[in-house]
Amino acid sequence: MIHTYTISGMTCGNCVATVEKALLDVDQIDDADANLESSSVTIHTNADISLEKLQKALPSKYKISKTDTKNVFANNTTSKEAEQSEWKQLFPLFLIFAYLFAASILLNKNLWSVQNFMLDFMGLFYIVFSFFKFLDYKGFPQSFRMYDPLAKAIPFYGWLYPFLELALGLLFLMRLEIPLALIATLIILGITTVGVARTLLKKNAIQCACLGTALKLPMTKATLIENSIMIVMAIVMLLKTYN
């Protein structure tokens, strides 16, 4: 018998391997094939196994449930529902950006300066985003290397990345070594943006690691826009610095 289940909590290839191994340890399961893109797992078994037993076999991070049956005649609403679901998933990202913009404006309300506004925004951006990455420090590198070219080539870079963000955030907020921080921003986010663009062009359904793995964000155009805003700010600041 072949059964397909929906499974949440998988964020990288390592998660896929963990899920498959855990399920294969269950008696009467002959094969288990997890799919990161569809968040599903297909199980080959010679007997009916309860959902409770399958869940018990998995680490608590992963939740398994029955796959909902889809109505093949409901094609007119499927794309709209998927789009609404995607924007709902991205709501935390947009909310964080709204808070960052508001905080940066408030920090400069008494003596307004576009330059200081951008420095504060970039500093807060790095501090907040590094915080979310540290929430699941062990899981972040695996998710990050799914689309970042440098993290894929050099795994240690994924482990170092949250610390780089934290350091850059402090430099911007404390107004230290600003030119160096701006150049580092262009290089670091430039590399990541290339990886994000490639992922979008290939239409791969993977999780964005910009907020670590604590929040499940899909890789979308919003991720590209998020990086582009920081890159544009860095370019503008560099032009102001050297003009």
Chain segment 36-94, per-residue pLDDT in tens: 777 888 888 877 888 888 999 999 889 998 875 444 344 444 445 445 566 676 787 88
Instruction: Say how far apart CA 53 and CA 49 lie, in whole Å.
Output: 7
More confident residue, 196 or 83: 196
Give the per-residue pLDDT at 11: 76
The conformation of residue 33, written as its DSSP 8-state character, comes to: E
* pTM of the predicted structure, to 2 decimals: 0.65
- For residues 214-233, give the mean pLDDT: 76
41 bridge partner residues: 5, 34
Residue 98 has pLDDT above 50, yes or no: yes
Instruction: Say how far apart CA 218 and CA 90 lie, in whole Å.
Output: 7
> What are residue 174's phi and psi, to 5 degrees?
-95, 0
Give the per-residue pLDDT at 70: 44
Instruction: Say how far apart CA 47 and CA 128 lie, in whole Å.
Output: 48
Residue 28 has pLDDT above 90, yes or no: no
Residue 128 has pLDDT above 80, yes or no: yes
Give the per-residue pLDDT at 75: 46
